[in-house]
Amino acid sequence: CLPTTPQATTYTVAVRTGDKFSAGTDANVFITMYGAGRDSGKQALVKAGENLFERNQESLFDLEMADLGVISKIRIEHDNSGVGASWYCESVTVTNQTSGEKLVFVCREWIDKKKGNKQLFRVLWPEGRKVGGGGEEEEEVKEELEN
């Protein structure tokens, strides 16, 4: 039996920056999506010539990769670069263009070294799904938070 290779798909990632004073960021933003036994790896959210992640704006990205199956969580982060790296992420919506599955990950938190939990990342679960439902996932998050 040969292992089956997951089909390629395109994920549309819509990142909404909140409507707060200095909510936007000039830092480089990355996403990692976690699916059924696989993850996307750290993906840079970039578009040449566009001013991204501005206050009260949505930034859209199409990421082509192996289909991850049902996405259980995402990690959104930035590298703290540039002037005004502090960022208030409102939400992230991920749509699998092959299956049509659309998941909303609500953040409504600062991703910043000085505000909120003082971390440069957030781990988010899809809206409506219980956080930390299983021991394994919960342990992973605790590990990530400790690092």
Quickly count: other Cβ atoms within 10 Å of residue 73's Cβ. 20
Helix (H, G, I), strand (E, B) or coil at 143: helix
pLDDT above 90 coverage of the chain, percent = 73
Residues 41-67 have pLDDT tens digits of 999 999 988 899 999 999 999 999 999
In the predicted model, is pLDDT for residue 135 greater than 70? no
pLDDT at site 83: 86
d(CA 3, CA 105): 31
pLDDT at 36: 86
pLDDT of residue 139 exceeding 60, the answer is no
Residue 136 backbone dihedrals phi, psi, to 5 degrees: -60, -50
DSSP designation for 133:
-
**Band of residue 76 on the pLDDT scale cut at 50, 70, 90:** very high
pLDDT of residue 24: 96
Inform me whether the pLDDT recorded for 33 exceeds 60. Answer: yes
